[in-house]
Amino acid sequence: MNIKVSDFKGISKIKKLFFIATLLFAIPSVVFAEGESGKPFNAGDMILEHVSDAHSWHVAGDVSIPLPIILYSSTHGLDVFSSAKLENGVAYNGYKLNGEHIVAVDASGAINKDETAKIWDLSITKTAASILLSGILLILIMLAVSKGYSKRGTGAPKGIQSFFEPIIVFVRDDLAIPSIGKKKYEKFMPYLLTLFFFILLVNLLGLVPFFPGGANVTGNIAVTTTLALFTFIVMMVNSGKTYWGHTLWMPGVPAWVKISILGPIETLGIILKPFTLLIRIFANMLAGHIVALSFFALIFIFGGLWGHFAGYLTSVFSVAFSAGMLLLDVLVSLIQAYVFTLLSAIYFGMATEEAEHH
């Protein structure tokens, strides 16, 4: 993984300047758009809006892409329509957008709480769209890599294949084999590779400040919950007798200790493992996004306090800090993908461990 970090260090000065200039023009333009809506600038709202999920994908300025809204409720049945129909708080088909929540409304326009509780919101939100996009992108990339292998067989890797091969070998040799062991690691490789590359891709796409990047995917708790659940399910499906024996009935400990202390603790531990997984990546990625956005918020805070000139002056420092944060976030993206995959591998290793004689 060091290769990527040092790659960033190795970028020539011109490229660095270009990189910062891109940030200078790209991110503020997105953020400026927020300030133009007439309301006084509120840093908290702006940041929360950016890291939260939405029913439309804001591109730049006034341009945003409407996304499909898919609703199911036992009384209304299935409803599929574009989010453009709910823009500016207009009610459509008995639904209305309350903030980013879809609520059911009566004919008079008042929110119907009973109906709202029955709604299953399966809309393709900004995050969901970003997930789908990342999924398609990942499939395309990996099929291209795979094609290299089918074309060259056991020959030396080339092009995109040689870029991804060290990462795949890294996942295999430094994550899977040491954690699971040489005998059983192969079974888990497809899952670990998918997990690693999926997290890495959505993390890195999230750092791209303009459309179609910028979505806060791994900083969304629903996404990390799902990933952690997958790891938990794979772990449970593959858990052996030794694992359960050691967790619930630790050998060499008096029976009353097992029942009263160790049993409950270990049971809690089983649930806590995926929970820590989902919280760790969620909090890290969310914090990264919030900190980067906070630096930009400073521009508008100072601009609002002392006029445009102060805003432009601050923007120099803010952009510099944000660029630094972005580079740090690249590192965090890698580390979080690494840690999630590594811990999953370690849990699989624990679950499949075979009896050792004590």
Partner 1 sequence: MDLIVPSIGLIFWMTITFLVVFFLLKKMAWKPILKSLKDRESSIQNALDSAEKAKQEMAALQASNEAILMEARNERDKLLKEARETKDSIIGEAKAKAQIEADKIMQSTRDAIQGEKVAAMDEIKNQVAKLSIEIAEKIIRTELSSDEKQKALVNTMIDEVNLN
> Between residues 141 and 327, which has the closer beta carbon with respect to partner 1?
141
Contact flag: residue 98 with partner 1 (CB under 8 A): no
For 22, 109, 315, the CA distances from 17, given in Å and listed in that order, are: 8, 53, 15
CB atoms < 10 A from the CB of 193, how many?
Answer: 19
Q: What is the contact mask toward partner 1 in residues 226 to 245, using x (rule: CB under 8 A)? A: xx--x---------------
Least separation in angstroms between CB 22 and partner 1? 29
With CB under 8 A as the contact rule, the residue among 43, 189, 287, 291 that binds partner 1 is: 189
Q: What is the contact mask toward partner 1 in residues 64 to 83, using x (rule: CB under 8 A)? A: ------x-------------
**DSSP characters over 102-135:** EEEB-TTS-B-HHHHHH-EE----HHHHHHHHHH
Contact flag: residue 336 with partner 1 (CB under 8 A): no
Least separation in angstroms between CB 111 and partner 1? 17
For 73, 81, 252, the CA distances from 130, given in Å and listed in that order, are: 25, 19, 51
Question: How many residues line the site for partner 1 (CB under 8 A)?
Answer: 52
Residues 6+ apart with CB under 8 A from 324: none
Least separation in angstroms between CB 331 and partner 1? 23
With CB under 8 A as the contact rule, the residue among 104, 131, 293, 342 that binds partner 1 is: 131
With CB under 8 A as the contact rule, the residue among 23, 124, 215, 277 that binds partner 1 is: 124
Q: Which of residues 280-299 bind partner 1 (CB under 8 A)?
A: 286
Phi, psi of 129, deg, nearest 5: -65, -40
Closest by CA position to 81, among listed 68, 96, 65, 71: 68
> Between residues 168 and 320, which has the closer beta carbon with respect to partner 1?
168
Contact flag: residue 138 with partner 1 (CB under 8 A): yes
Q: What angle separates helix 308-351 from helix 221-238, to the nearest 10 degrees?
A: 10
Q: Which of residues 157-186 bind partner 1 (CB under 8 A)?
A: 165, 168-169, 172, 186
What are the tokens at 321? 């800090």
Query: What CA–CA distance (Å, rounded) separates 59 from 61?
Result: 7
With CB under 8 A as the contact rule, the residue among 31, 46, 51, 270 that binds partner 1 is: 51
For 135, 209, 212, the CA distances from 311, given in Å and listed in that order, are: 39, 20, 27
Q: Which residues bind partner 1 (CB under 8 A)?
A: 48, 51-54, 70, 99-101, 120-125, 127-128, 131-132, 134-135, 138-139, 142-143, 145-146, 149-150, 153-155, 165, 168-169, 172, 186, 189-191, 193-194, 198, 220-223, 225-227, 230, 286
